Each structure stands twice: as C-alpha cells, then as structure tokens.
C-alpha cells in the first residue's frame, strides 16, 4: 500500500494587546518583575478559557495576581501565557 510520511508543524503564538484591554504595567510580586496585568474577564478572552477556569487557577496559585484595595483583581499576563 502507500507509504507513511511524517509531517512536522511548527507554530508561533502572537498576542496583541490593544488599548481596549487596558493592560497596565505593574509589579508582579511572584515574578519579581514588571509585567502586564489584565482583569480576569480579559484573561478569559485572551486565553479562550472560562472565567471560572481563570479563578480556579488563581486559587490554585497557577496564575500570579494582585488584588487592589477596591477588590479589583489583576492577573499577570506572563503566567497566563504559560498556563
């Protein structure tokens, strides 16, 4: 019959954060560096995951985050892209 062939596909991920996402550069304590920080709903949209999955990862410590005095949570984009 026919011969088997191996096909290798390389992909590259490009993420563009536009102003509508209102990402802010802030200090991430867990990274120990400046990072882009976004809201949980934005993190869900960027990653294609549910808001529930985002909060589960926050609670599990998988995502770095910062809670502001007014209760707003900002998620470190560096960790979001590595989940």
The pLDDT value given to residue 22: 72
Q: Say how many C-beta atoms besides its own lie within 10 A of residue 42's C-beta.
A: 20
φ, ψ for residue 55, nearest 5 deg: -65, -35
**What tens-digit pLDDT sequence spans the chain (83 residues)?**
567 666 666 666 555 555 455 789 999 999 999 999 999 999 999 999 999 999 999 999 999 999 999 999 999 999 998 87
CATH class of 19-81: mainly alpha
- What residue ranges do the domains of the chain occupy? 19-81
């Amino acid at each position: 019959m026919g011969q088997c062939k191996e096909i290798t596909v390389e992909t590259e991920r490009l993420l563009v954060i536009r102003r509508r996402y209102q990402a802010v550069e802030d200090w991430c304590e867990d990274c120990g560096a400046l990072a882009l920080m976004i809201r949980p709903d934005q993190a869900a949209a960027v990653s294609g995951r549910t808001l529930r999955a985002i909060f589960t990862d926050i609670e599990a410590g998988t995502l770095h985050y910062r809670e502001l005095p007014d209760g707003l949570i900002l998620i470190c984009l560096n960790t979001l892209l590595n989940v």
